[in-house]
Amino acid sequence: MKVLVTGAAGYLGWAVVHEFLAAGDEVVALVHDADAAFPPAVEKRAADLLDAGSLTAAMENVAGVCHLAALTRVRISAEQPTRYYRANVGGTIGILDAMAAESRRSGNAGRIVLASTGQVYGAPARQPISEAADVRFINPYAASKVACEQLLGWQAAAGKVGATTLRIFNAAGAAAGRGDQDLTRIIPKAVAVAAGSAAQVDVNGDGTAVRDFVSVEDVARAFVLALRASEQGEHAIYNLGATPASVRDVIGAVERVSGRSVHVQHRPAHAAEAPALTADTSRIRAALGWRPVSSGLDDLVRGQWSAAVQVTSPAP
């Protein structure tokens, strides 16, 4: 299958590209930057998600799409809601329109898997969270992702695509030598402190808040399984999580794996912060046979640590 990956140069995109290559698929990386580096087998196509002409050209002969490109910073979305809706919802409309144009040309309905987020649930009292839980518009980022999910659902109901949404809780670790560069997230930040490239980890409250982590490699495998299983006219929604862990747990794992201490600065707790957010993944396990295989907390930290040490080591 020829698979187009939007956001291919990003953290998750890098893992998804490598997973589809390993599965024997032809991979098209949709990029803004023509200088972005990929393995030689990857075809690069340049397009703007908000430019219909470039997207239609980029979609030629593509049978499946993994749509990862999005703006994802929650706090910034609260300050710039129109920007987030324009990029996330507008970009998804562009992808679906380009897929429809390619379907008319080829006579075949395409398949699409959307990267969504566990943020769409807000902070429900019942844990772990199943896909049956209500979605909550707690910030513009989450709301924009809900809108994207709904678009996929309507497009599938019209018979134009086979669609799957993956609600990812907290992707972490490394894939193909690349770790997470986003220091707003706890694992890369704690690892950066241990590596000496950041001063401290700021912790709101006592560090007992629990979040659900899943390796970026396990997430990438889910994209392969989901794209293969997508059927015209249907829209499936699955949670992706694997390892619940507190902030304290993460810091302890970083210190254990790195053999170094992590300086922590405690700050007042946020009243709205949920004590735990964990994913019920029974649906994707039953439907697609997905299982996390590299999502143990020490495995996640070890991958991030190895990637960080590679980056910070001086050249010989």
What is the tens place of the pLDDT at every residue in 130-155? Answer: 999 999 878 999 999 999 999 999 99
Q: What is the mean pLDDT of residues 106-112?
A: 95
Strand 110-117 relative to strand 161-168, pairing: parallel
Other Cβ atoms within 10 Å of 49 Cβ, number: 25
Mean of pLDDT over the chain: 95
Residues of the domain holding 188: 2-312
Asked if pLDDT for residue 315 goes beyond 70, the answer is no
* Bridge partners for 165 per DSSP: 114, 237
Measured CA to CA in angstroms, residue 289 lies from 38, 135, 227, 282 at distances of 29, 25, 13, 10
Please give the model's pTM, rounded to 2 decimal places.
Answer: 0.95
pLDDT of residue 270: 79
The catalytic residue positions are 141
Q: How far apart, in whole angstroms, are the C-alpha atoms of residue 143 and residue 234?
A: 22
What is the tens place of the pLDDT at every residue in 181-230? Answer: 999 999 999 999 999 999 999 999 999 999 999 999 999 999 999 999 99
CATH number at residue 208: 3.40.50.720
What is the tens place of the pLDDT at every residue in 36-69? Answer: 889 999 999 999 999 999 999 999 999 999 999 9
Residue with tokens 């970026």: 216
pLDDT of residue 311: 60
pLDDT of residue 312: 53
Q: How far apart, in whole angstroms, are the C-alpha atoms of residue 83 and residue 140?
A: 10
Sign of CA dihedral 119, 271, 203, 248: negative
**Residue 15: band (very low, low, confident or very high) from pLDDT cuts 50, 70, 90:** very high
Q: What is the mean pLDDT of residues 96-122?
A: 96
**Continuous H helices in 107-246:** 140-157, 186-195, 216-229
**Residue 314: band (very low, low, confident or very high) from pLDDT cuts 50, 70, 90:** very low
pLDDT of residue 158: 97
Cα radius of gyration (the chain): 19
Give the number of domains in the chain.
1
- Helix (H) / strand (E) element for 83: namely helix 81-84
DSSP label at residue 278: -
